[in-house]
Structure 1
Amino acid sequence: MDLKETQLSSEPIFQGTFVTIARDAVRLPNGNEGTRIVIRHPGAACVLAVTDKDEIVLVRQWRYACDQALLELPAGKLDVDGEDPAECALRELAEETHYNAERVKLLHTFYTAPGFCDELMYLYQAEGVKEGSILENDEDEFTETVLLTRDEVKAALKNNEIQDAKTLIGLQYWLLNS
Structure 2
Amino acid sequence: MAFAHETVSRTDRYQGAIFSVHTDEVTMSDGSTADRDVVENRGAVVVVALDEQDRVVLIKQYRHPLRAHIWELPAGLRDVEDEPEAITAARELAEETDLTAARIDPLIDLHTSPGFSNEWVRVFLARDLSAVPQAERHPREAEEADIEIHRVPLDEAIAMIFRGDITNAAAVAGLLATARARETNWTLLP
Instruction: State the TM-score, normalized to the length of structure 1.
Output: 0.92
Contact residue 98 and residue 145 of structure 1 kept, 8 A: no
Which residue in the other structure is 2:142 paired with? 140
Q: Aligned match of 1:160 in 157, 164, 189?
A: 164
The structural deviation recorded for 1:138 is: 5.3
Q: Which amino acid aligns with 1:122?
A: R
Moved over 4 A (4+): none
Contact residue 73 and residue 167 of structure 1 kept, 8 A: yes
Change in 2 beyond 3 A, CA 1:81/1:98:
closer
Contact residue 59 and residue 73 of structure 1 kept, 8 A: yes
Once the two structures are superposed, residues 6-38 of structure 1 have per-residue CA deviations (whole angstroms, 9 ceiling, x without a partner) of: 112222100001210001111122221110100
Once the two structures are superposed, residues 103-151 of structure 1 have per-residue CA deviations (whole angstroms, 9 ceiling, x without a partner) of: 4111111101000000000011113211235432553232211110134
* Equivalences for residues 31-110 of structure 1 within 5 A: 31-110=31-110
Give ranges in structure 1 of 5+ residues lacking alignment: none
Give ranges in structure 2 of 5+ residues lacking alignment: 183-190
Instruction: State the TM-score, normalized to the length of structure 2.
Output: 0.86
Change in 2 beyond 3 A, CA 1:110/1:3:
farther
Change in 2 beyond 3 A, CA 1:2/1:93:
same
Q: Which is further off, 153-162 or 48-57? A: 153-162
Which residue in the other structure is 1:24 paired with? 24
Percent same amino acid among aligned pairs? 30
Q: Which is further off, 43-52 or 98-107? A: 98-107
Change in 2 beyond 3 A, CA 1:137/1:66:
farther
The structural deviation recorded for 1:176 is: 2.2
Change in 2 beyond 3 A, CA 1:127/1:9:
same
RMSD, aligned α-carbons: 1.7
**Are 1:172 and 2:173 an aligned pair?**
no
The structural deviation recorded for 1:177 is: 2.2
Contact residue 125 and residue 178 of structure 2 kept, 8 A: no
